[in-house]
């Protein structure tokens, strides 16, 4: 996303050129990587393997979303007053929670942020919602097989 903005939309507010604003976006993009990793380990791996979340994973998941909720605060967008690629990246990462039906009501700032973005982005449903065509079931089956293969190799 950074490259695309730099190359094709260098003056776009999606990736601001002002150094302090860009630093905020970059910070959120880097933070998003840790959110993605934490959610993968604590939520997705057990989910795809058909396991219950361990207490350790529940704590890791809750800590991750709690911190995210606190960092978002009352902001409409994560890095300032404009929509940026940080919002889009974090939305792609955290949309998994919505797809999996995770209750996020305990995290009101996060819930407000994700709900607001999904409504604001007119194209959201088109690109983030799975159609009931079986493709998402096939994807989940492949992910589960991949996790199980890694688990078997590690034992």
The CATH number of whichever domain residue 109 belongs to comes to 1.20.1050.10
Query: Per the domain annotation, does 142 fall within a domain?
Result: no
CA distance linking residue 86 with residue 14, whole number of Å: 8
Residue 26: which domain range?
Answer: 1-128
**What confidence score (pLDDT) does residue 87 get?**
97
Total number of domains in the chain? 1
Residue 81 · residue 91 · CB < 8 Å: no
pLDDT digits (tens, 9 = 90+) for 114-136: 999 999 999 888 876 655 566 66
pLDDT digits (tens, 9 = 90+) for 71-112: 999 999 999 899 999 999 999 999 888 877 889 999 999 999
**Alpha helices, DSSP H only, in the chain?**
2-8, 19-39, 45-48, 55-72, 85-99, 108-120, 124-128, 135-154
* Max CA separation in the chain (angstroms): 51
Query: Per the domain annotation, does 94 fall within a domain?
Result: yes
Query: Per the domain annotation, does 148 fall within a domain?
Result: no
Query: Per the domain annotation, does 46 fall within a domain?
Result: yes
Query: Per the domain annotation, does 149 fall within a domain?
Result: no
What is the enclosing helix (H) or strand (E) of 8?
A: helix 2-8
- Does residue 4 have a pLDDT over 90? yes
Backbone angles phi, psi at 77, to 5 degrees: -125, 155
Query: Per the domain annotation, does 141 fall within a domain?
Result: no
**What confidence score (pLDDT) does residue 130 get?**
59
pLDDT digits (tens, 9 = 90+) for 26-60: 999 999 999 988 888 888 877 777 778 889 988 99
């Amino acid at each position: 996303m950074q490259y695309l903005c730099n190359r094709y939309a260098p003056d776009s507010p999606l990736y601001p050129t002002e150094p302090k604003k860009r630093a905020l976006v970059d910070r959120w993009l880097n933070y998003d990587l840790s959110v993605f990793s934490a959610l993968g380990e604590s939520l997705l791996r057990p989910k795809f393997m058909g396991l219950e979340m361990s207490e350790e994973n529940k704590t890791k998941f809750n800590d991750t979303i709690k911190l995210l909720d606190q960092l978002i605060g009352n902001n409409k967008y994560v890095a300032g007053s404009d929509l940026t690629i940080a919002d889009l990246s974090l939305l792609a990462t955290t949309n998994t929670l919505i797809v999996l039906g995770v209750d996020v009501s305990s995290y009101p700032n996060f819930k407000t942020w994700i709900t607001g973005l999904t409504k604001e982005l007119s194209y959201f449903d088109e690109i983030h919602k799975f159609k009931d065509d079986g493709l998402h079931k096939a994807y989940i089956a492949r992910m589960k097989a991949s996790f199980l293969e890694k688990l078997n190799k590690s034992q």
